[in-house]
Amino acid sequence: MAGRLYVVGTPIGNLGDLSDRARQTLRAVDLVAAEDTRRTGRLLARAGIKAPMISLFEGNERQRTERVLASLREGADVALVSDAGMPTVSDPGFALLRACIDERIDVRVVPGPSAVTAALVVSGLPSDRFVFEGFLPRKAGDRRERLQALAHDPRTVVVFESPLRLATLLRDVLVELGDRRVAVCRELTKLHEEVFRGRASEALARLADHEPKGEVVLVIEGARPVAPELEELVVEARRLVEGGMRKREAAALVARRADASANEIYERLVGDPAAASGGPDRR
């Protein structure tokens, strides 16, 4: 019988965030496939765990995936970990995960910290709907094209970025998305954790005096819906009146949907011959 692959989330900074279940899993498996065995070795030592390890990172992922699969086929349980956060989320491991699923090897997830959700929550921007874009392309044209595709997306956007390229990214945000609200989240859960909240222009100006260091997550406000013209709302309310609804009720309903003034819509309806003709005055 084949072994089981455990995808284990590890701390993004504060080692105290390692969960009890993650600790138990890492202690119980036969092999740990780690993005960086030195970094994971320090984590395991801190938790009092001794476990055989094999490196699995971007440069050797294809070759090491086959070696790990061989161990799984022989019945070994394997834990997949990255340097921080959840493996496969802008980190190595997807090839191994996909190969296990294709071979019907049991895969379990041990949830852990994630820089994506941590930054989203602490940003103060809407978190009910969001999109994670990982690292945007390094080439300027490709990066701007990706931002253009997000220009009308109302969801909050979360991206990873190198501190060395953060200013360049913020300039592109200004050009392609406008001066939106952003949160620059640096060194989350670590000793020097810092979150700057403001407009993209303000964040860019701040970088002139505060060169960022460490891990950076940028959270960007989604596109705000364009408010419809008053006349469009009056036309919508007029249709409701023609269908039998009272003017006041129609105006309130349309205004609530569009976050507009019910009084303005109602006043236009009252003075609109088209809404007044063809029946009793349904105020």
Instruction: Give the model's confidence band at 272: pLDDT under 50 very low, under 70 low, under 90 confident, else very high.
Output: low
* 143-157: average pLDDT: 95
Does the pTM exceed 0.75? Answer: yes
pLDDT at 274: 52
Q: Regarding the domain delimited by 4-113, which CATH topology (the fold level of the hierarchy) does it fall under?
A: Cobalt-precorrin-4 Transmethylase; domain 1 (3.40.1010)
**For residue 237, what are the CA distances in angstroms to 32, 124, 270, 272?**
63, 35, 11, 11
**Residue 8 scores a pLDDT above 50:** yes
**Residue 87: what residue type?**
P
Instruction: Give the model's confidence band at 212: pLDDT under 50 very low, under 70 low, under 90 confident, else very high.
Output: confident
Note the pLDDT tens digit of each residue in 155-207.
Answer: 999 999 999 999 999 999 999 999 999 999 999 999 999 999 999 999 999 99
Given the candidates 3.30.950.10, 2.40.50.140, 3.40.50.2300, 1.20.1260.10, the CATH classification of the domain at 116-220 is: 3.30.950.10
> What b/e readout covers 226-263, taking b as 16+ CB neighbours within 10 angstroms?
eeeeeeebbbbbbebbeeebebbbbbbbbbeebebebe
**Residue 280 scores a pLDDT above 60:** no
> What b/e readout covers 178-190, taking b as 16+ CB neighbours within 10 angstroms?
eebbbbbbbbbbe
For residues 259 and 152, the model is more confident at: 152
pLDDT at 225: 77
**Cβ-Cβ contacts under 8 Å for 137 (sequence gap 6 or more):** 143, 146
pLDDT at 211: 81
Note the pLDDT tens digit of each residue in 47-62.
Answer: 999 999 999 999 999 8
